Amino acid sequence: MKTTIYFLFISAALLLSCNDQKTVNTGTDDTSSYFDYSNSDDQKTGGIKMIPITTPKGTFNVWTKRMGNNPKMKVLLLHGGPGGTHELFENFDGYFPNEEIEYIYYDQLDSYYSDKPNDSTLWTIEHSVDQVEQVRKALNLDKDNFYLFGQSWGGLLAMEYALKHQDHIKGLIIANMMASVPEYEKYAAEVLGPQLPPEVHKEIKAMEDKEDFQNPRYTELVTQHYYTKHVLHLPLDEWPEFINRSFSHMNPNIYIYMQGYSEFGVTGNATLKGWDISDRLNELKVPTLMIGGKHDTMDPEYMEWMSTQVQNGRSLTTNGAHLTQYDDADNFFNGLIKFIKDVNDGNFTEN
């Protein structure tokens, strides 16, 4: 009896194994080509391309890395800063591949993985726009597949690029960036600053008035009380490794030159002072998604307003802060993926 049962058990196991093998073999015929890099010119580098950028000061290389293959949905990611890195977007790896959306990491000139000419004459909006256009051409992105995503400074750059080259874009995503630096400064001064503990706000303001930005106490207060509320809405010990790594790779030279020292606005003679294209938003006709966070350094209501000013806009407000791709990842990626697929399927509607 035991022998018979043992024989039946082994036979059933073999049968199940054969059935499982059939399933695997059948599935192979339908395997997606999303992760297939064979016969591509960047296979040996794992999707990495160093793209030459022509500038008035010579030719320099910028670092890009393609993730996946999709001829209809290709997202170029513009990081913040200026002087940040693509690393802030590394958790896109946890969401986009399952949706088979191709995306391209890109470190702008003078950022960590790209060449660093360290020439301030290249640190302009005009040159940054031209740089994006050269990258677009090198990667064969066009109006049939090109989605441009920009966050913070990258959002400013994406808006400026779209105002000049929107005929090349299939969809535009602006995350955590207002269309007006003066309005951003007003929001920081009138809303966010006063939300700090009064004694903390007073001490920060005193150091800013004296331009004592190098004071370790200034960094301590801003990091503990402002960053944990409005940059990433989490205690510092819960910040993920990839975000901390990106901050450690920030280029302070270009950041200070264009943004300045303060987190409450553009300081001194920083070149982004006074930037404002709010009255030009109505020139944007490409489908556009505006993403803001309830705890963001940028006014979420202003971000919603921006979606009504472009010709084909949609708004997404998360429960996160400036880096809402992490502190409210589910809402962020659900809304972002839906926008990309709606545009791709021809189902885009405003909200």
- Tell me the catalytic residues: 152, 296, 322
Buried b vs exposed e over 49-74: b needs ≥16 C-beta within 10 Å? Answer: bebebebeeeebebbbbbbbbbebbb
Q: How far is CA 227 from CA 224, 250, 307, in A?
A: 6, 16, 26
**Token representation of residue 85:** 């890195």
230 in Cβ contact with 194 (< 8 Å): no
**Strands 171-175 vs 288-293: parallel, antiparallel or unpaired:** parallel
Rounded to whole angstroms, how far apart are CA atoms 342 and 158?
Answer: 20
Rounded to whole angstroms, how far apart are CA atoms 321 and 299?
Answer: 10
CA atoms within 13 A on the CB side of 153: 30
Radius of gyration of the chain (CA): 24
DSSP assignment of 267-320 equals -TT-TTTT-B-GGGGGG--S-EEEEEETT-SS-HHHHHHHHHHSSSEEEEEES-
Question: Does the bond joining 82 to the residue before it have cis omega, within 30 degrees of 0?
Answer: yes
Q: How far is CA 274 from CA 94, 96, 157, 184, 271, in A?
A: 37, 36, 15, 10, 8
**Strands 102-107 vs 74-78: parallel, antiparallel or unpaired:** parallel
CA angle 157, 158, 163 (to 5 degrees): 100
Q: Look at the block and give the residue holding tokens 């005193």.
A: 206
For 174, list phi and psi in degrees, rounded to 5: -110, 115
Task: Tell me which DSSP letter residue 222 carries.
Answer: I
